[in-house]
């Protein structure tokens, strides 16, 4: 069994046992905590902050599904989750998450790659939401969330790799994998891990489909949330907001098919995607 297969097995086991601990972006959690302490708690501001971080967003969704706050109505957006949790419950989970140790790599290439994972997810979320608005592809807020979480497995795998690197570096740094292997492991493991996590945490069906079927369009349901996310993912990759290798030819074909399904012309695509790099890199 190779390293990628071993890692996938370990992470899936942690998911099944509910023992997966994920650090998030400290600045996002800290600023959200500050919002919950204000007398006039601003739901929209808190939602906008938490939607900057896919790992934090999925944990807030998971908390909303707990027995203490569960209702008959599904919780399909971060705004709905925060509204049901309330400022006090939200502050509790944010305090716990923000106390976790932030991990960094000794390799600057890995550090940059991890940062780009978050930027890619935010860019796909923003574009998927815009595409949903202009094409009528489902609810724009759900499209945003599906875009934010479509590569959920990547930050999960990256976090586990950073943990392993930290432990191994204390003994013998030369034993650790190189950057090319690091990227290969993330690419090979992330999809099944993301699917497993989405199922275990009972994320909305549209989110699960966006994670599981990110590479293939659904021609029978051309204005689906999944198609908006798949198209956005291809466009964001074309703009270079991505960690890993991309086949330009295959990616261009995905963009062409997506434009046809969603009814996006050249002018509209340029308008929707012109500021993605800037928006995705905005400081929390």
Domain borders along the chain are 20-98, 110-280
In the chain, the percentage of residues whose pLDDT exceeds 70 is 90
- The maximal CA–CA distance of the chain, rounded, in angstroms, is 56
* pLDDT tens-digit map of 6-17: 888 888 888 888
Q: Give the closest residue to 272 by CA, choosing from 226, 242, 238.
A: 238
* pLDDT tens-digit map of 56-86: 888 888 877 764 565 666 777 888 888 888 8
Look up residue 82 and give its two tokens: 């925060």
Residues 6+ apart with CB under 8 A from 87: 36, 37, 41
Instruction: Say if residues 125 and 144 touch (Cβ distance below 8 Å).
Output: yes
Of the two residues 271 and 41, the one the predictor is more confident about is 271
State the helix-helix crossing angle for 108-135 and 153-169, rounded to 10 degrees: 170
* pLDDT tens-digit map of 133-143: 999 877 898 89
Residue 24: pLDDT over 70: no
Residue linked to tokens 């740094």? 173
Residues 6+ apart with CB under 8 A from 89: 63, 68, 69
- Calpha distance 183→110 (Å, rounded): 8
DSSP-based three-state secondary structure for 58: helix
Q: What sign results for the dihedral spanned by CA atoms 275, 277, 282, 284?
A: positive
- Calpha distance 277→8 (Å, rounded): 31
- Calpha distance 126→147 (Å, rounded): 8
Q: Looking at residue 235, what is its pLDDT?
A: 96
Q: Looking at residue 1, what is its pLDDT?
A: 60
Q: Looking at residue 29, what is its pLDDT?
A: 73
- Calpha distance 107→6 (Å, rounded): 22
Residue 248: pLDDT over 90: yes
Look up residue 180 and give its two tokens: 């090319």
Confidence band, pLDDT 50/70/90 cuts, at residue 168:
confident
Instruction: Say if residues 52 and 28 touch (Cβ distance below 8 Å).
Output: yes
Confidence band, pLDDT 50/70/90 cuts, at residue 23:
low
Mean pLDDT rounded to a whole number for the chain: 84
Mean pLDDT for 104-132 is 89
Residue 250: pLDDT over 90: yes
Lowest-pLDDT choice from 35-44, 61-70, 165-174 = 61-70
Residue 284: pLDDT over 80: no
In the chain, the percentage of residues whose pLDDT exceeds 90 is 24
Q: Looking at residue 25, what is its pLDDT?
A: 61
Task: Look up the CATH number of domain 110-280.
Answer: 1.10.3210.10
């Amino acid at each position: 069994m190779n390293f990628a297969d071993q890692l996938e097995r370990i992470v899936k086991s942690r998911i099944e046992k509910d023992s997966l601990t994920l650090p998030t972006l400290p600045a996002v959690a800290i600023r959200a905590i500050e919002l919950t302490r204000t007398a006039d708690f601003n739901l929209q501001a808190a939602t906008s902050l938490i939607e900057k971080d896919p790992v934090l967003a999925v944990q807030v969704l998971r908390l909303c599904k707990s027995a203490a706050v569960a209702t008959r109505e599904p919780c399909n957006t971060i705004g709905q989750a925060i509204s049901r949790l309330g400022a006090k419950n939200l502050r509790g989970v944010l305090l716990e998450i923000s106390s976790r140790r932030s991990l960094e790599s000794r390799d600057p290439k890995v550090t940059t790659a991890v940062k780009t994972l978050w930027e890619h997810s935010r860019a796909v979320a923003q574009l998927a939401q815009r595409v949903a608005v202009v094409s009528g592809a489902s609810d724009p807020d759900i499209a945003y969330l599906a875009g934010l979480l479509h590569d959920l497995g990547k930050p999960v795998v990256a976090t586990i790799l950073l943990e392993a690197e930290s432990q191994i570096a204390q003994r013998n740094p030369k034993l650790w994998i190189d950057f090319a292997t690091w990227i290969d492991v993330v690419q090979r493991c992330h999809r099944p891990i993301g699917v497993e996590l989405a199922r275990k945490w009972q994320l909305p069906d549209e989110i699960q489909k966006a994670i599981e079927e990110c590479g293939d369009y659904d021609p029978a349901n051309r204005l689906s949330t999944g198609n908006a996310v798949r198209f956005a993912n291809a466009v964001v990759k074309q703009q270079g907001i991505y960690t890993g290798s991309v086949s330009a030819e295959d990616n261009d074909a995905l963009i062409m098919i997506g434009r046809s399904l969603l009814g996006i012309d050249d002018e509209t695509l340029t308008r929707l995607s012109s500021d993605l790099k800037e928006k995705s890199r905005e400081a929390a």
